[in-house]
A and B are shown apart, each in its own frame.
Chain A
Amino acid sequence: MREGKRPGSFYALAFVFTLFVLFLYGPMITIFVLSFQGPEGGLTFPMRGVSLHWFAKLWEGMGVVDIAAAFRRSVALGAVVMAFTVLLSLGAGLAFRKKFAGSAVLFYTSVASLIMPSIVVSLGIGLQFRLIDTAVKALLESWGFGGLLEGYGTSMGLYTSALGAHLTWTLPFGLLIMLAVFNRFNPAFEEAASDLGATPWQSFKHVVLPLIAPSLVGVGMFGFTLSWDEIARTSQAIGDVNTLPLELQGLTSTVTTPAIYALGTVTTIVSFAVMGGTLALMKFLNRKKSKARAGAGHG
């Protein structure tokens, strides 16, 4: 199988694979190129000069939409989602190494969350927060805090309902990665640590954590990038302000200039930067890990 002459099917499938990769990246490259369209250029080829005109337009804002503010909101939310995804998935991953009552229910709940139609989740969270609003308003009224009532808008927002909606999407990925990591994890390291007198906390901090750190970085990347692009679950569960992808979705039907491609290029660059940073960090942690192991071998 692995040596000798390549069969004819290799060339056929290699051709299919190449076409598929072209299909994946071709359109992305097209809008990347078109986002540098000259000021006179339109949504399609030909290019009328090369410029950064549309990026400048983008930064001025598009119509009523403040792109820069939406950008900042999405970065901030992505960072918070990332932190929660790493911490909660790590906790759950550690818990799943032991037997505990309800572990099967928890596992299937998170898988269900992954495959639940997003619009249903979004509607549910939206409803929940609207009912919370109604209840809060009724309570304030009955207690006679009319003044507070005036200032009260909604409990829905970036760090309440939208954060929750994003976590229902990122946490299942985090858990699946942690389960895969711990399935391949050799418990001999920990046993050695505890034989040498390490407390559970010491063996977690000095043995387990360094070994799984690269995977945790990967979980963090899932958390950020999935949140950065999320639309479906956020759509009904966000209050007065929108995230960048939601603004973008709205712009698709109103904006008819290459500025929207410029926005595409910018968001894609952020995604790629996060991926690149993740890979670099994973490589760094892995190198540290193998160095530590080599050092231990000498000691």
Chain B
Amino acid sequence: MNSSPRKSGALAWLQATPFALVFVLFLVLPLALVGAVSTWRATDYELIPAFTAQNYVDVFDGCGNTSEMCVTLKTYLSTFKFCFLVWLITLVIGFAVAYFLAFHVRSVGAQTLLFILCTVPFWTSNVIRMISWVPLLGRNGVINQGLQGLGLIDSPIEWLLFSNFSVVLAFVHLYTMFMIVPIFNSMMRIDRALIEAARDSGASGWQTVWNVVVPLSRTGIIIGSIFVITIVMGDFVTIGVMGGQQIASVGKIIQVQTSYLQFPMAAANAVILLAITLMMIWGLTRLVDIRKEL
């Protein structure tokens, strides 16, 4: 504290260097390589550092065809669809849960306890949480057995598991937490007097929520949205496991190409995915300063 600013600046650098080094080595450099390799040529067994745009042309192969959509566009469309559905559902549930915790639970102890209850599953295995749906949704699962027992259906419902439905369900199950935490954090900063003022001025419950709470929780909503959108855009594990390895996603294309050692193609797909994801969050980040939220 008493030392000169230059000395404290040097010390700060020393303290931050190991941290920064990790990101240089394992984030910046790898991403630069992905960018570079996306323009390289390759044979079956080696990469050739010579510039070509062919990989990008190949990604959009057949996309000029108007009668039938090409694989890339179809995959992106399907990924966007998951993205939108999951975003909407997690937002509604996340907002409701955060609102309940922030405004209806009165004691701080109960609030903390219920908040922890919502976040604990985040620290357990995602794959386990996915397969834990199998005994519930499967052909002979609890839901099908129950419905058949009640005589509501004759044969088991097939679309409960390994389908678009189960993929969305698993996403919501896994990632609503990413909405709850930032929205709850924003709501806890709202001055309670503002809500009373709105009520005293004659606003109904819904009007208060819509005109006071939602705008003031904007930051939390945006941060949560960024998390959910980026996770779903790049996902291949959830879609793989819950889709029975039958549903395409952009992340899965990259994963499959990597496992066949088609690195330049995988890299080109990764660059495009990254560009699209960054564009989506760029719009969102412009609306918020994350550092003020801590």
Residues of A in contact with B (beta carbons under 8 Å apart): 1-2, 6-7, 9-10, 13-14, 16-17, 20-21, 23-28, 30-31, 34, 42-45, 84, 87-89, 91-92, 94-103, 106-107, 109-113, 115-121, 123-128, 130-131, 134, 164-165, 167-168, 171, 175-176, 179-180, 183, 187, 190-191, 194, 200, 221, 225-226, 228-229, 231-232, 235-236, 245, 248-249, 252-253, 260-261, 263-264, 267-268, 271-272, 274-275
- A76, chain B: closest CB distance, angstroms: 17
Once the chains bind, are B128 and A267 in contact (CB under 8 Å)? yes
B27, B128, B145: which contacts A248 (Cβ < 8 A)?
B128
Determine the distance from Cα of A118 to Cα of B277 in the docked complex, in whole angstroms. 12
Partner of A168, one of B26, B100, B118, B267: B26
A87-B18, A116-B230, A119-B255 are contacts. A44–B126 as well, Cβ < 8 Å? no
- Pick from B205, B236, B277: contact of A7, CB under 8 Å: B205
Decide if B100 touches A17 in the complex (CB within 8 Å).
Answer: yes
Residues of chain B whose beta carbon lies under 8 Å from any beta carbon of chain A: 1-3, 5, 8-9, 11-20, 22-23, 25-31, 33-34, 37, 46-47, 93, 96-97, 99-101, 103-104, 106, 114, 117-118, 120-121, 123-136, 138, 140-142, 145, 173, 176, 192, 195-196, 205, 226-227, 230, 233-237, 240-241, 244-245, 251, 254-255, 258, 263, 266-267, 270, 273-274, 277, 281, 290-291, 294
Distance in angstroms between the alpha carbons of A28 and B5 in the assembled complex = 53
Find B118's partner among A24, A45, A115, A274 (CB 8 Å cutoff): A24
A245, B233: Cα distance in complex, Å: 21
Q: CA–CA, A19 to B3, complex, Å?
A: 56
Instruction: Please tell me if the beta carbons of A45 and B135 are within 8 angstroms of each other in the complex.
Output: yes
Bound-complex Cα distance A263 to B25 (A): 34
Interchain CB contact under 8 A, A28 and B30: no
**Could you tell me if B132 and A28 are in contact, using CB atoms closer than 8 angstroms?**
yes
Contact among B14, B19, B26, B145 with A45 in the assembled complex (CB-CB below 8 Å) = B145
Complex: chain A residue closest to B271, CB-CB:
A120
- Cα(A22)–Cα(B47), bound, Å: 51
For A123, the chain B residues whose CB sits under 8 A away are 30, 34, 254, 258, 266-267, 270
Interchain CB contact (< 8 A) of B106 among A2, A127, A200, A272: A2
The answer to whether A116 and B135 have CB atoms under 8 Å apart is no
Identity of the chain B residue whose Cβ is nearest the Cβ of A15 in the assembled complex: B100
Q: A24-B118, A115-B227 are in contact. Are A168 and B15 (CB under 8 A)?
A: no
Find chain A residues with CB under 8 A from B118 CB.
20-21, 24
Instruction: Say how far A288's CB is from chain B's closest CB, in angstroms.
Output: 21
Tell me if A106 and B124 are in contact (CB < 8 A): no
Q: Chain B residues near A275: list those with CB within 8 A.
A: 120, 123
Extra pairs beyond A20-B97, A171-B19, A226-B123 (18, CB < 8 Å): A14-B100, A21-B118, A25-B121, A31-B128, A42-B140, A43-B135, A89-B19, A91-B19, A100-B9, A106-B19, A113-B27, A127-B33, A127-B263, A171-B23, A179-B294, A231-B237, A267-B125, A268-B124
A92 to chain B, nearest CB (A): 4
Q: Let me know if B13 and A236 touch, CB within 8 A.
A: no
Of all chain B residues, the one with the shortest Cβ separation from A274 is B123
List 17 A–B pairs whose Cβ atoms lie within 8 Å, in order of A's numbering.
Answer: A9-B104, A16-B100, A20-B176, A28-B128, A45-B135, A91-B15, A94-B12, A106-B19, A115-B226, A119-B255, A120-B274, A127-B30, A179-B291, A191-B1, A249-B237, A260-B131, A268-B124
Contacts A88-B18, A113-B27, A127-B33 known; A100 to B125 CB distance under 8 Å?
no
For A163, give the chain B residue with the smallest CB separation.
B26
Q: What's the Cα separation between A121 and B277 when bound, in Å?
A: 14
Select which of B19, B30, B173 is within 8 A of A24 by beta carbon: B173
* Residues of B contacting A274 in the complex (Cβ-Cβ under 8 angstroms): 123
- The residue from A10, A45, A263 contacting B142, defined by CB atoms under 8 A apart: A45
Chain B residues near A267: list those with CB within 8 A.
Answer: 124-125, 128
Contact A13 B127 (CB under 8 A): no
Q: Contacts A16-B100, A92-B15, A109-B28 known; A1 to B294 CB distance under 8 Å?
A: no
